[in-house]
Chains A and B, each alone.
Chain A
Amino acid sequence: MIPTALRRAALGLCVTAAPLGAAAHQLVVFASVEDCTDVVVEAKFSNGNVAQKGEVRVLGEDRDVLSTLMLEENGTARVGLDSIDHSAGLLIEVDTGGHDNYWILTPDDIAGKCGS
């Protein structure tokens, strides 16, 4: 499970940092591995509002699309690690139509949540 404090810290950092080089209401994307079973994607706008709709694309190192799904109303999406080849890491893109952003999970990011 993703430590709540870590998740909040990451999203909080992004929201805080967003005005430093980005447009108002920028989309902020964060992804992490939970219990070595799922990639949990979270999307918020830099004003703190949850992104309730949006397409989530999970891509590999060569930017090949491994999975596509939609955000839930709470601004999250969940992808099973078993369902995708994550050996070379994952690029998570979220597109709400008017805004888009990404988060990169390296192989070490993933392995670090899988006890290795």
Chain B
Amino acid sequence: MKSVTARLAFVAVTGLVGTGALAQDGPRVVAVNYPIQYFAERLLGDAGEVIFPVPTDVDPSFWRPGISDISLVQGADLILLNGAGFATWVDRVSLPRSRTVTTGAAIEDQLIVTESITHSHGDGGEHSHEGVASYTWLDPTLASLQANAIAEALTARGLAEDGDVADRLAVLQSELAALDDTTRAALSPLQGAAIIATHPRYHYLERRYGLSMTSLEWDAGAMPTQDELAELSEAVTETGAQILIWEAAPPAEAMEAVAAFGLQSVVFPPLAHAPEDGTMLEALNVSVAALAAAARGAGN
């Protein structure tokens, strides 16, 4: 997978820095999540390297980097943050201000304030989803503005040819606009219909397309516990939802268990990490189509 490759490359470069043997032809850009990496790669082309250093089994929002990881980040020509509170580590290190860009700075007035929910899972320790929803790229119009910010950051620092970046940005933004149109049409039958999500990732998708989501706090790809299934049962009773969105494919028995509540399962990776197959836009199109198909199956 691409992110695994990026991680290996990152580790390899980390080792080289210590020996002073780093040979670098083009600019090196660091991104805090896959969508930012994807946009930067599209815009930079072959002019440089874009690194997303978070291991695939770690939630990029709560990654805890090592010292050498931060040394590499500090040495990058450009550090692209998401904004909206995504990636807690960025507030625990010194980043060079002149080379750090928050791609979501221009959309701060469109961010979604969320409720406070503190919990823990995995090795990331206790954390909270309080504050601001951070998966901004799930609204293609916001993603397009973030791509624009990346383009400006690249050209302002002379990391790529202005004309090349402008051309690539136009193509990327047209693809995002097409995704927006496709999604709006595909999900229009779901407007106002209750949907349950296994984790609070989809606020921007929900707002953009007029959905009505209730979020649980389940671990990605895991078999829900009996308590979690009881919680789901209550949510179904309260909302009348007929669709359950999983952020990662769970075991088959998990889907069978929720089907007993009359729920159709849809796997919709929120893409903080790269998808198993294809690109960000391809994966989103697949997820939207799956959601639309579930809507038809649910009789909405």
Contacts and interface: CB of A to CB of B under 8 A. Distances in A.
A90 B67 contact: yes
B131 A21 contact: yes
Given A29-B92, A103-B93, A23 B68 contact: no
B103 interface: no
B65 interface: yes
B127 A23 contact: yes
Nearest to A106: B71
Nearest to A16: B91
B196 interface: no
Interface of A: 13-14, 17-24, 29, 60-61, 88-91, 100-109
A112 B205 CA distance: 44
Interface stretch (B5-13, B80-88, B277-285): B80-88
Given A21-B87, A22-B85, 14 more contacts: A14-B91, A20-B134, A21-B134, A22-B88, A23-B130, A24-B130, A61-B66, A89-B71, A90-B67, A102-B64, A104-B92, A104-B93, A105-B94, A108-B71
- Most chain B CB within 10 A, of A23, A61, A108, is at A23
21 contacts: A19-B85, A19-B130, A20-B132, A21-B86, A21-B87, A21-B88, A23-B116, A23-B127, A29-B92, A60-B67, A88-B67, A88-B68, A90-B67, A91-B66, A100-B125, A101-B92, A102-B64, A102-B92, A106-B71, A108-B74, A109-B74
Nearest to A109: B94
B215 interface: no
A61 B86 contact: no
A91 B67 contact: yes
Contact of B68 (A19, A29, A61, A103): A61
B61 interface: yes
A25 to B, nearest CB: 10
A106 B111 CA distance: 32
